[in-house]
């Protein structure tokens, strides 16, 4: 039986290796182009190379869900980046569609753009599975498909993301260090989680738990689900404080502005906190760190879309690319915050501060996008 499946596998790979049945990227050996921007995920990451195509290129962004600040900022960033002088000449046509959380519609939109002869398609997958068919079609037509943020459970396409496990680990480590400095080596930690069933939430949470366990301290981690949303985060934090009284520290995956607001409203003492990169949260850190709200802010940046577009263009030019691109975590601690640089006290709470990646030449700042009208950025 095993021999049979091996033989089928060998036969299938033989078929796949002939150019007639399947085009698409070739697996090559590294290193890839521009490693400062396109960093390989780890030592085992494969490298891919597409046949070089003539520019300028037609590029589409197929978004799923739309309706929260992060996604809107992402779409505006994508549009602004497509007009950036460094890539403008390389893009012949640029389209953005949002399909909602509807897997067939998203798959259909991707397939439609392949049919229309687009060269690259950037997408935030609505589900980590189910893209086999469009991957096969994209390979057949040599279209570069780049999922980012919510990536796919496959190594057959080039993907762009931040390391969620590392993010969770750094959050937890910051809290552990801050607490150790106060002489605290055990106690209750409040963890505000994200959307249930999502791989990002799962990876971040597992890393937080692992880091606290590794200290050997007597920690009790209380989990609540905040859905990465300010309102929900505030409510569940208030509930948790009402039930548990006091926490030694807080680790929030998102909706951090609301979480801190709940601490303030409940008269909870200011404790070390780890959170996302919302402008409101960074304002709170800047104002309240003297009272003990010592925090770290690490963001999943909407600017990932710009790096994905840049990676797609690079792949179309025939460069060697890592299959999984790790974008460095944008980290800021309470003592590094500077008004007008990495947070903006005169701007609203609900946009994501980190949008720039200097090693990649992505220099579109969040407030520039969110505070200006559409006409100004494009």
Residues at the site binding other proteins, with contacts judged by CB under 8 A: 60-61, 63, 65-66, 72, 75-76, 79, 95-105, 107-109, 111-113, 115-117, 126-133, 136, 153, 197, 199, 202, 374
- Nearer Cβ to other proteins (11/340): 11
- Nearer Cβ to other proteins (38/351): 351
| Least distance CB 205 / other proteins (angstroms) | 13
Peptide bond between residue 240 and the one before it cis (omega within 30 degrees of 0): no
| Least distance CB 67 / other proteins (angstroms) | 8
- Nearer Cβ to other proteins (128/367): 128
- Nearer Cβ to other proteins (30/367): 367
| Least distance CB 97 / other proteins (angstroms) | 5
Query: Encoding tokens for residue 278?
Result: 């919302």
| Least distance CB 33 / other proteins (angstroms) | 30
Q: How far apart are CA 297 and CA 274, in angstroms?
A: 6
| Least distance CB 32 / other proteins (angstroms) | 29
- Nearer Cβ to other proteins (136/244): 136
Query: Encoding tokens for residue 39?
Result: 């960093």
- Nearer Cβ to other proteins (17/115): 115
Eight-class DSSP state of 213:
H
228 Ramachandran zone, left/alpha/beta (phi>0; psi -120 to 50): left
| Least distance CB 307 / other proteins (angstroms) | 19
| Least distance CB 305 / other proteins (angstroms) | 12
Residue 109's contacts (CB-CB under 8 Å, 6 or more residues apart) are: 60, 62, 97, 99
Query: What is the phi/psi pair of residue 329, to 5°?
Result: -75, 130
| Least distance CB 1 / other proteins (angstroms) | 13
Query: Encoding tokens for residue 364?
Result: 């579109």
Residue 87's contacts (CB-CB under 8 Å, 6 or more residues apart) are: 81, 309, 310, 313
- Nearer Cβ to other proteins (90/202): 202
Query: Encoding tokens for residue 365?
Result: 């700042």
- Nearer Cβ to other proteins (132/246): 132
Alpha-carbon dihedral sign for residues 249, 179, 352, 32: negative
Q: DSSP letters along 161-199, please?
A: E--HHHHHHHHHHHHHHHHHHTT--EEEEEEEE-STT-H
| Least distance CB 62 / other proteins (angstroms) | 9
Report how far apart, in Å, the C-alpha atoms of 44 and of each of 40, 41, 67, 253, 321 are: 9, 8, 36, 28, 14
The 3 state secondary structure assigned to 320-378 is EEECEEECCCCEEEHHHCCECCCECCCCCCCCECCCCEHHHCECCCHHHHHHCCHHHHC
- Nearer Cβ to other proteins (100/245): 100
| Least distance CB 108 / other proteins (angstroms) | 3
* Burial label, 172 (beta-carbon count in 10 A; 0-12, 13-18, 19+): buried
Q: In what order do the strands lie in the sheet with 320-322?
A: 26-28, 47-49, 320-322
- Nearer Cβ to other proteins (127/333): 127
Neighbours of 11 (CB within 10 A): 10
């Amino acid at each position: 039986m095993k021999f049979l499946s091996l033989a089928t596998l060998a036969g299938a790979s033989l078929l796949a290796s002939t150019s007639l049945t399947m085009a698409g990227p070739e697996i090559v050996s590294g290193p890839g182009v521009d490693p400062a921007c396109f960093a390989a995920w780890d030592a085992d990451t494969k490298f891919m190379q597409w046949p070089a195509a003539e520019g300028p290129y037609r590029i589409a962004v197929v978004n799923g869900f739309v309706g929260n600040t992060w996604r809107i900022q992402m779409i505006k960033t994508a549009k602004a980046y497509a007009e950036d002088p460094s890539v403008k000449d390389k893009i012949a046509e640029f389209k953005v569609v949002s399909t909602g959380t509807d897997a067939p519609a998203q798959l259909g939109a991707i397939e439609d753009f392949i049919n229309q002869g687009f060269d690259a398609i950037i997408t935030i997958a609505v589900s980590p599975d189910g893209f086999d068919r469009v991957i096969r079609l994209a390979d057949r037509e040599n279209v570069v498909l780049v999922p980012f943020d919510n990536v796919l459970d496959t190594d057959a396409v080039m993907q762009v993301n931040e390391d969620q496990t590392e993010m969770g680990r750094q959050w937890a480590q910051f809290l552990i260090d801050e607490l150790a400095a106060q002489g605290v080596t055990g106690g209750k930690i409040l963890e505000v989680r994200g959307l249930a069933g999502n791989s990002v939430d799962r990876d971040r949470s597992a890393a937080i738990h692992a880091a606290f366990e590794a200290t050997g301290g007597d920690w009790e981690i209380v989990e609540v689900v905040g859905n990465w949303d300010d309102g929900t985060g505030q409510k569940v934090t208030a509930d948790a404080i009402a039930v548990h009284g006091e926490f030694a520290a807080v680790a929030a995956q998102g909706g951090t502005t609301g979480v801190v607001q709940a601490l303030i409203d409940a008269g909870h003492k200011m404790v070390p906190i780890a959170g996302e990169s919302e402008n409101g949260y960074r304002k709170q850190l800047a104002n309240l760190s003297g009272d003990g709200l010592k925090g770290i802010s690490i963001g999943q940046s909407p600017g990932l879309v710009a790096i994905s577009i840049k990676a797609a263009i690079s792949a179309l030019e025939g460069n060697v690319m890592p299959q999984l691109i790790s974008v460095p975590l944008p980290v800021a601690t309470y003592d590094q915050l500077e008004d007008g640089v990495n947070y903006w006290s005169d701007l609203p709470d609900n946009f994501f501060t980190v949008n720039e990646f200097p090693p990649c030449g992505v220099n579109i700042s969040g407030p520039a996008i969110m505070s200006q009208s559409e006409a100004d950025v494009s």
